[in-house]
Amino acid sequence: MRDYIRSFNAMIRNNQGFTLIESLFVLSIFLIIASITAVLVKPHFFYFEKQIFFSQIKSDLLYAQQYALTHQTDVVVQFLPDQHKYTAQVKLGSETIISREYSPQFEIRKGTMPLYFQYGPSGNTNKFGSFYIMAGEERYLITFLIGRGRFYVAKE
């Protein structure tokens, strides 16, 4: 045990530690790697934000349609681009089912269809056509088909 303590004390006495220049060198390498990583992550962040936005809007529209079917009522869906928001409300009771705000990076524009429509008790929409969503420089088209209230999102 004494030999261990002696060798430990000898190691402590001989250890000089790191110099200031060595510490600054390691810190600068760390900062360079961290800044490069931050620059490379930004495009991926917008990509994931875009994926989440479209996934959310599809889910909300399907939920509004299912609500109209299961409660046998009319559900009005309205997009408010100046407020960066969309809502779904029961027509007669004005009960808000969905009220969702979205990022200002997305811009919703009227196309062949106005930015409001209604799901009937059968799940059909009262209007059909399409409207545009601008996500950065990319343009997407949400199209509602005649018939069963089906819709799809396509990149232009």
- Model pTM score: 0.73
Tens of pLDDT, residue by residue, the chain (156 residues): 666 566 555 555 655 667 888 888 899 999 988 888 777 777 778 889 999 999 999 999 999 999 999 999 999 999 999 999 999 999 866 789 999 999 999 999 999 999 999 999 999 999 899 999 999 889 999 999 987 788 999 998
Residue ranges of domains in the chain? 2-155
Distance CA 113, CA 58 (A): 17
User: The domain 2-155: what is its CATH number?
Assistant: 3.55.40.10
